[in-house]
Chains A and B, each alone.
Chain A
């Protein structure tokens, strides 16, 4: 099977699935500076998309618009059939379906690891406390740090913090996971992310880990200056990019 055959097959398979995230002509400005310029993309259910691009290209901004941490000014963003508007109820709904792992992890420093994970299930999902603790234990087990539950984030290593951040996001049992640039990703975290991808989670991952992109991604999106420059399967993207800008970027990063 040639690369292009595989791509075609995948494209057909994907087309049959539901749309999870739809962006249509999304524009966003910070003051006079246009951070997103006509972003149009559809991400399907169970798809794993890796977003690449040079620093300042708007990757974080895009990903943050998807759970409305930033508001876009033009265009449409529809997540799981719900359009993102200023309507608070829509935002609530989306946020409980989209899990996000931040670049800086942003754990709650005054709460123990377990409380970091159970907080949202208890107060947002209205889960009974015991059930939430049960869930937290199993999630910490899944990300490989069950013994750290009683510690505070400040007492953990960077990689452990990252895994707590993943567990915290997963605790909301989201249908979509957004990973914003987990820079120095350690192997254990990559394994967790791979395992998540295999379990059928819809994922958007900003990363510079080419290995992850090659192995796990269904699709790679390359951004520059707030625009989507090129989209394709990893095979196609890494071996045979169309655009000059992509080639330049890849030559610098690989």
Chain B
């Protein structure tokens, strides 16, 4: 399905750009597109130096890529270890019979993602057919290149072990043998020939004239060098390999895939013609759906094999399709994503976008809490206690606080409001003192609620306004109380999920959970620290600076050790911090310091005039900070903030060192200790790196889009 850019209906329905006039803007002329040869001349062979750099770096890339391919597809790789341990890698010991809960979590995230992307995506934008077909052809070519580059497969015996040979005997006397012994000389000659060519062409001014000769000559020499390297490796290996021709034949499926991709790309390219190619756009999401769709579909038809690890038994059924417990949920997830994406687009077309943005963002913040404590943890609620204590307390705070807010947000409350807020702060403080001295045992939950109430009451006058505005404040308070009390009740109830470790879940699950909660904690802390560090009050400045400098000066791993191993010694007997909570707190305290510095950079970028203008129109300090300063500061600091988010996400791999079964540790220690896969590590580590990379790369991509979108209207 495509959305042509000029379609007036699409533009009118979904235009975010409020400044888009009625008249359609004139089409911007395209960059003239270069032919492949022109592109090569311009970018890679524009001068002798560039030509030589191209030659040297392509040889280098060739070696690296070939090494990686040979490593990945070698007969010695036991990828079965990864396939078998897939659930282990992602959720560790989360019980199989409760696995539906995991899928509910994935589903919830799919629904939110679909809605968000659907609501936010620019209609009429997306990937042009030109780019799509080029990418398709490019992918096909890369696969074809990979097929050729990878060395021929080893010949294996009945047990799957590669046959070895005596090298000198096997290739002695042949051309391959000669090449093997003289490889270095031949390569050196080829490189020198490249240099000589460069000099000669330079004298002829061929580079300047842009003729094809240098490219062809250099290209031929580079190909010859590749050939030398490939033959040399083939000849010098101790493993008996099939012939090159057999290898190419064996990879028929890969050839087919490469041809299909390149063919599809070429068909698009030729079929559409120049103008339509450039002006027809397909939403990026559809490309994602197509790729995911092919993968999900293949799980139903292609014999990927069914591998697993259930109740101590390894399952290995190479000939069958993926297990129903895997393919069915993934199919549902994809359908959910597609459905919610379209729902988002419909809502957007109905101009509900702006209204839904805030609730959607709130949902994103709330989701991790709900998923972890309500879904994954499956808490066993004590209903007597809930009905007798939790519920009445929540109702009391919601109603009492709601009344207070309603009253304090009256536009003309004036001095009385400040007095009431001050009294509330005093009561809240007294509660803590009383609890500390053991006068009367108010529950901690109530004390925290009171404190929250007092703080919000102090700030309430900033959000005063007409009836609807006051109603909003009250609603926000009631919602906060409902969520807060509900969550505390959940946290206080024991979990019914039975796992062998302290942690509910391990593997990539815990990596994600720790990363998400770290960021949820660290972001507000970072903002507060940054504000404190730029505040006018010296005490705030000093404290925040001290905090930041301490945490930036200490290695993260020591912070983690402190919070997982030592911190408990300081706590009262009755209290212990489980490892994951401790680690999360450590991560959060640490990243808060870095986030604070990034945000401080953003704060400094907010010009003084903005403060003065806010003051001149009479905004209070709180309003100025919330409505004017922070939005601008955060926008400026998106790139470093995302950098920090990615760093935090990757740093969770340190969890392995403090003894938590995170993603890395499963690959590194758990799989390699299984009787079936003793010592098999590299596959897992490569897989883990790939997944980390995939997530980090997407975050970085997303942040670039975010920057572009928020940069709207700035000059």
Q: Give the B-binding residues of A (Cβ under 8 A).
A: 64, 67, 69, 92, 95-96, 98-100, 102, 104, 106-110, 112, 119-120, 122-124, 126-129, 150-155, 168-169, 171-172
Contact among B462, B628, B714 with A152 in the assembled complex (CB-CB below 8 Å):
B714
User: Does B694 have its Cβ within 8 Å of any Cβ on chain A?
Assistant: no
Contact among B463, B469, B609, B635 with A106 in the assembled complex (CB-CB below 8 Å):
B609
Query: In the assembly, what is the distance between CA of A170 and CA of B617, in Å?
Result: 10
If the complex has contacts A104-B609, A154-B714, A168-B617, are A110 and B18 also in contact, measured as CB distance less than 8 A? Answer: no
State whether B19 touches A106 (Cβ < 8 A): no
User: Does B615 have its Cβ within 8 Å of any Cβ on chain A?
Assistant: yes
Least CB distance from B470 to A in Å reads: 10
If the complex has contacts A123-B465, A127-B466, A128-B465, are A100 and B713 also in contact, measured as CB distance less than 8 A? Answer: no
Query: In the assembly, what is the distance between CA of A108 and CA of B469, in Å?
Result: 22
State whether B631 touches A110 (Cβ < 8 A): yes
Write the chain A residue with the least CB distance to B470: A126
State whether B631 touches A128 (Cβ < 8 A): no
State whether B713 touches A102 (Cβ < 8 A): no
Least CB distance from B450 to A in Å reads: 27
State whether B612 touches A126 (Cβ < 8 A): no
If the complex has contacts A108-B628, A112-B18, A128-B468, are A172 and B618 also in contact, measured as CB distance less than 8 A? Answer: yes
State whether A69 touches B615 (Cβ < 8 A): yes
User: Does B632 have its Cβ within 8 Å of any Cβ on chain A?
Assistant: yes
Instruction: Report how many A-B pairs have Cβ atoms within 8 Å.
Output: 94
Chain B residues with Cβ below 8 Å from A109 are: 632, 713-714
Interface residues of B in 368-387 (CB under 8 A from A): none
If the complex has contacts A151-B18, A153-B713, are A123 and B612 also in contact, measured as CB distance less than 8 A? Answer: no
If the complex has contacts A108-B610, A108-B628, are A95 and B615 also in contact, measured as CB distance less than 8 A? Answer: yes
Query: In the assembly, what is the distance between CA of A59 and CA of B466, in Å?
Result: 39
Query: In the assembly, what is the distance between CA of A120 and CA of B462, in Å?
Result: 12
Q: Give the A-binding residues of B (Cβ under 8 A).
A: 18-19, 411, 462-469, 607, 609-610, 612-620, 623, 627-628, 631-632, 635, 712-715
Contact among A64, A67, A96, A155 with B19 in the assembled complex (CB-CB below 8 Å):
A155
The A contact surface, by secondary structure, is loop
State whether B713 touches A150 (Cβ < 8 A): no
User: Could you jot down 30 A-B contacts, CB within 8 Å?
Assistant: A69-B615, A92-B618, A95-B617, A98-B616, A99-B617, A102-B612, A102-B613, A104-B609, A107-B613, A108-B614, A108-B628, A110-B631, A110-B632, A119-B627, A120-B619, A123-B627, A124-B618, A126-B411, A126-B465, A128-B468, A129-B466, A129-B468, A129-B469, A150-B18, A150-B19, A151-B18, A152-B714, A155-B715, A172-B617, A172-B618
State whether A120 touches B464 (Cβ < 8 A): no
Least CB distance from A167 to B in Å reads: 12
A-B CB proximity, top 10 nearest: A152-B713, A150-B18, A126-B411, A106-B609, A106-B613, A128-B466, A120-B617, A100-B616, A124-B618, A95-B618
If the complex has contacts A107-B613, A109-B632, are A122 and B618 also in contact, measured as CB distance less than 8 A? Answer: no
Contact among B462, B468, B607, B609 with A123 in the assembled complex (CB-CB below 8 Å):
B462
Query: In the assembly, what is the distance between CA of A104 and CA of B607, in Å?
Result: 11
Query: In the assembly, what is the distance between CA of A124 and CA of B18, in Å?
Result: 27
Write the chain B residue with the least CB distance to A151: B19
State whether B713 touches A151 (Cβ < 8 A): yes
Query: In the assembly, what is the distance between CA of A92 and CA of B617, in Å?
Result: 9
State whether A123 touches B466 (Cβ < 8 A): no
Query: In the assembly, what is the distance between CA of A151 and CA of B615, in Å?
Result: 23
Chain B residues with Cβ below 8 Å from A95 are: 615-618
Query: In the assembly, what is the distance between CA of A120 and CA of B627, in Å?
Result: 11
Least CB distance from A211 to B in Å reads: 27
Query: In the assembly, what is the distance between CA of A112 and CA of B18, in Å?
Result: 10
Write the chain A residue with the least CB distance to B610: A106
Chain B residues with Cβ below 8 Å from A129 are: 466, 468-469
State whether B468 touches A96 (Cβ < 8 A): no
Write the chain A residue with the least CB distance to B462: A123
State whether A69 touches B632 (Cβ < 8 A): no
State whether B609 touches A102 (Cβ < 8 A): yes
Contact among B607, B618, B712 with A120 in the assembled complex (CB-CB below 8 Å):
B618
Write the chain B residue with the least CB distance to A92: B618
Write the chain A residue with the least CB distance to B627: A119
Chain A residues with Cβ below 8 Å from B464 are: 126
Chain B residues with Cβ below 8 Å from A92 are: 618, 620
If the complex has contacts A112-B18, A120-B619, A172-B618, are A106 and B612 also in contact, measured as CB distance less than 8 A? Answer: yes
Query: In the assembly, what is the distance between CA of A109 and CA of B609, in Å?
Result: 11
Chain B residues with Cβ below 8 Å from A122 are: 465, 469
Query: In the assembly, what is the distance between CA of A77 and CA of B609, in Å?
Result: 23
Chain B residues with Cβ below 8 Å from A172 are: 617-618
Write the chain A residue with the least CB distance to B715: A154
State whether A96 touches B609 (Cβ < 8 A): no
Write the chain A residue with the least CB distance to B621: A88
State whether A124 touches B619 (Cβ < 8 A): yes
Least CB distance from B202 to A in Å reads: 48
Query: In the assembly, what is the distance between CA of A41 and CA of B659, in Å?
Result: 75
Query: In the assembly, what is the distance between CA of A120 and CA of B617, in Å?
Result: 6
Write the chain B residue with the least CB distance to A171: B617
Chain B residues with Cβ below 8 Å from A119 are: 617, 619, 627
State whether A154 touches B713 (Cβ < 8 A): yes
Least CB distance from B250 to A in Å reads: 59
Chain A residues with Cβ below 8 Å from B607 are: 106
Query: In the assembly, what is the distance between CA of A92 and CA of B621, in Å?
Result: 11
Least CB distance from A168 to B in Å reads: 7
Query: In the assembly, what is the distance between CA of A95 and CA of B618, in Å?
Result: 5
Chain B residues with Cβ below 8 Å from A110 are: 631-632, 635
Chain A residues with Cβ below 8 Å from B462 are: 123
Chain B residues with Cβ below 8 Å from A150 are: 18-19
Chain A residues with Cβ below 8 Å from B468 are: 128-129
Query: In the assembly, what is the distance between CA of A107 and CA of B614, in Å?
Result: 9
Query: In the assembly, what is the distance between CA of A94 and CA of B264, in Å?
Result: 70
State whether A108 touches B613 (Cβ < 8 A): yes
Least CB distance from B337 to A in Å reads: 31
Write the chain A residue with the least CB distance to B634: A110
Given A98-B616, A110-B635, 14 additional A-B pairs, CB 8 A: A67-B615, A92-B618, A106-B613, A108-B628, A119-B617, A123-B465, A123-B619, A123-B623, A124-B617, A126-B464, A127-B465, A154-B714, A155-B19, A168-B617
Contact among B466, B627, B635, B715 with A126 in the assembled complex (CB-CB below 8 Å):
B466
Chain A residues with Cβ below 8 Å from B463 are: 123
Query: In the assembly, what is the distance between CA of A106 and CA of B608, in Å?
Result: 9
State whether B618 touches A96 (Cβ < 8 A): yes
Chain B residues with Cβ below 8 Å from A168 are: 617
Query: In the assembly, what is the distance between CA of A206 and CA of B468, in Å?
Result: 41
Query: In the assembly, what is the distance between CA of A120 and CA of B614, in Å?
Result: 9
Least CB distance from A39 to B in Å reads: 20
Chain B residues with Cβ below 8 Å from A64 are: 612
Least CB distance from B712 to A in Å reads: 7
Query: In the assembly, what is the distance between CA of A171 and CA of B618, in Å?
Result: 12
Chain A residues with Cβ below 8 Å from B18 are: 112, 150-151
Chain B residues with Cβ below 8 Å from A100 are: 616
Write the chain A residue with the least CB distance to B614: A108
If the complex has contacts A69-B612, A102-B612, are A169 and B617 also in contact, measured as CB distance less than 8 A? Answer: yes
State whether A155 touches B713 (Cβ < 8 A): yes
State whether A152 touches B712 (Cβ < 8 A): yes
Least CB distance from A161 to B in Å reads: 11
Query: In the assembly, what is the distance between CA of A242 and CA of B714, in Å?
Result: 49
Query: In the assembly, what is the distance between CA of A122 and CA of B607, in Å?
Result: 24
Chain B residues with Cβ below 8 Å from A126 are: 411, 464-466, 469
Write the chain B residue with the least CB distance to A150: B18
Write the chain B residue with the least CB distance to A95: B618
Query: In the assembly, what is the distance between CA of A93 and CA of B612, in Å?
Result: 16
Least CB distance from A146 to B in Å reads: 14
Chain B residues with Cβ below 8 Å from A108 are: 610, 613-614, 628
Query: In the assembly, what is the distance between CA of A171 and CA of B619, in Å?
Result: 13
Query: In the assembly, what is the distance between CA of A99 and CA of B613, in Å?
Result: 10
Chain A residues with Cβ below 8 Å from B19 are: 150-152, 155
Chain B residues with Cβ below 8 Å from A120 are: 617-619
Query: In the assembly, what is the distance between CA of A122 and CA of B409, in Å?
Result: 13
